[in-house]
Amino acid sequence: MNIITYIFSFLCSQEISRSFVIDGRVLPFCQRCTGVYVGLGIGFLYLLISGYYKKGLPPRSVIYMNIASLLIMPIFGFHLLDPAPAWRLWSGLIFGNAIVFLLCPAVFVICNEGKAFGHNTKVSTFYFFLLFTFLSIIPFWIPIQSNYFYHAIIVLALIGLLGILLCIAAIIVFLIKKAMVSLILKGLGNGYTKNSKSQ
């Protein structure tokens, strides 16, 4: 676990007094970051399994809920209101989930140049709020003193981090491809113009 602790040391203060202890081991991230990474991980798994990220941006009600979730984070993140570990965890969970639900569909739409598959708005909205409810009850389970639970949190956190990196990589690859196509077309265009003039 030293490697994982090292990786997350770049992303979290890892303050022991603000970290959960599960099965006698301190998690390698604070309570709020635990929520963020677990929220990211659960969100990515849900979108990958359901395929909803391929169906364009979510319905307005889901977007508004995600924006509200993003706005809640500064209240807790800057310690304007910091009542308990469960609240830190919850604010992180809904923040991480909001990032995924806004980022994944946006990346898919960008990389497919605006193309998306149609979807049933009512169904996707229902499942989003079901997932949101599930995330909201996770703070009641923490900390379950189980070795399996400890490892489940680590795995979800790594999935969340990997998901963000994949989204960034997808955008970079897309931009490089667009730039290369643009340069090739520009080169061909210039070559065609020169040939036309010479004739």
Give me the residue spans of the domains in the chain: 34-173
Alpha helices (H) along the chain:
2-9, 31-50, 60-77, 85-111, 121-137, 147-198
List Cβ neighbours of 20 (8 Å cut-off, separation of 6 or more). Answer: 26, 27, 31, 34, 85, 89, 142, 143
Q: Which one, of 4, 111, 129, 130, lies nearest residue 54 by Cα?
A: 111
Tell me the pLDDT tens digit for each residue of 162-176: 999 999 999 999 999
In this structure, what token pair is assigned to residue 41? Answer: 């991980």
Confidence of residue 25 (pLDDT cuts 50, 70, 90): very high
Residue owning tokens 């970051």: 33
- The single-letter DSSP state of residue 54 is G
Is residue 37's pLDDT more than 90?
A: yes
Q: What pLDDT sits at residue 182? A: 83
Is residue 115's pLDDT more than 80?
A: no
Q: How far apart are CA 104 and CA 124, in angstroms?
A: 15
Tell me the pLDDT tens digit for each residue of 54-94: 887 888 889 999 999 999 887 776 666 666 888 889 999 99
3-class secondary structure, 190: helix
State mean pLDDT over 121-139: 87
